[in-house]
């Protein structure tokens, strides 16, 4: 793609620390694949509330919309937690970006590294061979429905349209076509009317993909199956809240939530790339956070938005090499710091 522009949103907690390492990696490997990245940094989340009074300052949405991609660290933390429905919350920035940029599909790959099989809370024989992708609908459902309070009650509304379901299902079937050709649709169709519509539309989409196998699973059963037989899944497609919960559960198969990347994509415009983990305020500023999830998110950015698949492969191979060599951050039982792991990844990716 030549010269590209990426908006960096480091955010809160450990976000700035892990984003810094990902940027170093991108700047080193992208030119090797013919891409030069210019960065534009903005505040979002809690730090933006502190600085401007709101989680998404003026101009940030426009900057993101005009970029080739967006790299996000993490937002939120207990200092901004509140039960006041009128108070600004860091997470509002993320929801607004997803909606404003039309990012309706969140892709979260889960592929444990063999070097870390024994770091998972699950037995090795249960996770060996696991290679799954969670495709989560991102701009509908209960997170975006009408909400409010009518004393003594509060309500949150889950609403889905046929088009919202269709487009994310199409994304899931397209992903499965390049993998093992199996889609598991997760819903709660035995209880929820929105889930019954979800299942109906997914079946309609499946009819247009005769080479892809489809099965349906209730979300409570899916939560159990993810930890009992994760290697049996290929592509999981599900609605917003279910996907939020299940993808975090699936993250632990790898041994640490500090290892998993994600990509949020739409039909056009920039994708948004971020680690699955949160802002981890308890370790922020101490230089001990694991940067691997953010670096792998940057690899997804290079592949999906910046047209640099070889550079993405360099980062992914570097992660595997560093872990295979026994290098670990604290969350994996080691003692290396954020910058030290970044240095090792940089050396491996540019060798």
| Residue listed under structure tokens 């005009």 | 66
In our burial notation (b when 16+ CB lie closer than 10 A, e otherwise), range 93-127 reads bbbbbbbbbbbbbbbbbbbbbebbbebbebeeebb
Q: Is the pLDDT of residue 210 over 90?
A: yes
Lowest mean pLDDT among 114-123, 148-157, 303-312: 114-123
Average pLDDT over residues 339-350: 98
Q: What pLDDT is stored for residue 133 in this prediction?
A: 96
Task: Dump the DSSP string for 263-327.
Answer: EEE-SSS-EEEEESS---TTTTTTT----HHHHHHHHHHHHHTSS-HHHHHHHHHHHHHHHHTT-
The catalytically annotated residue of 50, 156, 220, 282 is 220
CA distance 148 to 47: 26
Q: How confident is the model at residue 176 (pLDDT cuts 50, 70, 90)?
A: very high
Q: Would you call 12 a catalytic residue per the annotation?
A: no
User: What residues contact residue 193 under an 8 Å CB cut-off, 6+ apart?
Assistant: none
CA distance 271 to 67: 9
CA distance 189 to 172: 19
Nearest by Cα to 168 from 97, 96, 94, 239? 239
Summarize pLDDT for 215-225 with one digit per residue, the tens.
Answer: 999 999 999 99
Q: Is the pLDDT of residue 146 over 80?
A: yes
Lowest mean pLDDT among 122-131, 133-142, 311-320: 122-131
Q: Would you call 84 a catalytic residue per the annotation?
A: no
Q: Is the pLDDT of residue 157 over 90?
A: yes
The catalytically annotated residue of 117, 244, 273, 331 is 244
Q: What pLDDT is stored for residue 317 in this prediction?
A: 97
Summarize pLDDT for 291-342 with one digit per residue, the tens.
Answer: 999 999 999 999 999 999 999 999 999 999 999 999 999 988 899 999 999 9
CA distance 206 to 129: 26
CA distance 124 to 142: 36
Give the CA count within 13 Å in the CB-facing half-sphere of 271: 21
The catalytically annotated residue of 33, 131, 248, 343 is 248
Q: What pLDDT is stored for residue 39 in this prediction?
A: 98
In angstroms, the Cα distances linking 150 to 107, 108, 292 are 36, 37, 44
Nearest by Cα to 168 from 139, 125, 129? 139
DSSP H/E element including 285: none
Quote the percentage of the chain above a pLDDT of 70: 100
Is there a contact between 100 and 270 (Cβ–Cβ < 8 Å)?
no
Average pLDDT over residues 23-33: 97
Go through the domains of the chain in sequence order and give each one's CATH number: 1-101+270-351 (3.40.718.10), 105-259 (3.40.718.10)
Task: Dump the DSSP string for 238-259.
Answer: E-HHHHHHHHHHHHGGGT-GGG
Nearest by Cα to 27 from 35, 15, 17? 35
CA distance 315 to 26: 8
Q: What pLDDT is stored for residue 255 in this prediction?
A: 79
Average pLDDT over residues 118-128: 88
In angstroms, the Cα distances linking 160 to 16, 92, 187, 189, 199 are 35, 20, 12, 13, 12
The catalytically annotated residue of 143, 234, 273, 331 is 143
Q: How confident is the model at residue 268 (pLDDT cuts 50, 70, 90)?
A: confident
* Average pLDDT value over all residues in the chain: 95
Task: Look up residue 286 and give its two tokens.
Answer: 């101490």
Which backbone phi and psi does 137 adopt, to 5 degrees?
Answer: -65, 140
Is there a contact between 143 and 122 (Cβ–Cβ < 8 Å)?
no
Q: Is the pLDDT of residue 1 over 70?
A: no
* CA gyration radius, the chain: 20
Is there a contact between 257 and 251 (Cβ–Cβ < 8 Å)?
yes
Summarize pLDDT for 59-87 with one digit per residue, the tens.
Answer: 999 999 999 999 999 999 999 998 888 89
The catalytically annotated residue of 188, 234, 273, 331 is 188
CA distance 345 to 351: 10
Q: How confident is the model at residue 174 (pLDDT cuts 50, 70, 90)?
A: very high
Average pLDDT over residues 187-205: 98
Task: Look up residue 342 and give its two tokens.
Answer: 């970044």
Q: Would you call 182 a catalytic residue per the annotation?
A: no
Q: How do 182-187 and 153-156 pair as beta strands?
A: unpaired
Which residue spans within 99-255 are E strands per DSSP?
A: 105-110, 132-137, 147-150, 153-156, 182-187, 213-218, 235-238
Q: Is the pLDDT of residue 136 over 70?
A: yes
């Amino acid at each position: 793609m030549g010269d590209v522009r990426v908006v960096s949103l480091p955010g809160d907690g450990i976000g700035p620390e892990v984003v810094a390492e990902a940027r170093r990696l991108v700047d080193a490997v992208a030119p090797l694949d013919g891409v030069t990245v210019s960065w534009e940094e903005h505040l979002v989340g809690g730090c933006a509330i502190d600085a401007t009074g709101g989680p998404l300052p003026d101009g940030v949405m426009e900057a993101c919309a005009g970029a080739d991609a967006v790299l996000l660290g993490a937002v939120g933390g207990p200092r901004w937690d509140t039960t006041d429905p009128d108070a600004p919350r860091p997470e509002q920035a993320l929801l607004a970006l997803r909606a404003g940029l039309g990012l309706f599909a969140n892709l979260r790959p889960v592929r444990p590294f063999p070097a870390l099989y024994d770091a998972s809370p699950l037995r090795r024989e249960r996770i060996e061979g696991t290679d799954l992708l969670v495709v989560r609908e991102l701009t509908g459902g209960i997170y975006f429905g009408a909400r409010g309070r009518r004393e003594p009650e509060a309500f949150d509304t889950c609403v889905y349209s046929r088009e919202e379901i269709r487009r994310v299902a199409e994304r899931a079937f397209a992903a499965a076509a390049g993998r093992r050709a199996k889609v598991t649709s997760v819903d709660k169709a035995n209880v929820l009317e929105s889930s019954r519509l979800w299942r109906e539309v997914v079946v309609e989409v499946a009819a247009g993909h005769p080479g892809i196998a489809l099965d349906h699973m209730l979300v409570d059963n899916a939560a159990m199956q993810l930890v009992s037989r994760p290697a049996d899944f290929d592509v999981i497609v599900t609605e917003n809240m279910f996907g939020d919960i299940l993808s975090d559960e699936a993250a632990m198969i790898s041994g640490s939530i500090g290892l998993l990347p994600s990509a949020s994509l739409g039909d056009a415009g920039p994708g948004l790339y971020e680690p699955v983990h949160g802002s981890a305020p308890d370790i922020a500023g101490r230089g001990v956070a694991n940067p691997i999830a953010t670096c792998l998110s940057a690899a997804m950015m290079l592949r999906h938005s910046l047209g640099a698949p070889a550079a993405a492969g360099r980062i992914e191979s570097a992660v595997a090499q560093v872990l295979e060599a026994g290098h670990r951050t604290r969350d994996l039982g080691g003692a290396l710091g954020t910058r030290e792991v970044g240095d090792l990844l940089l050396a491996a990716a540019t060798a």
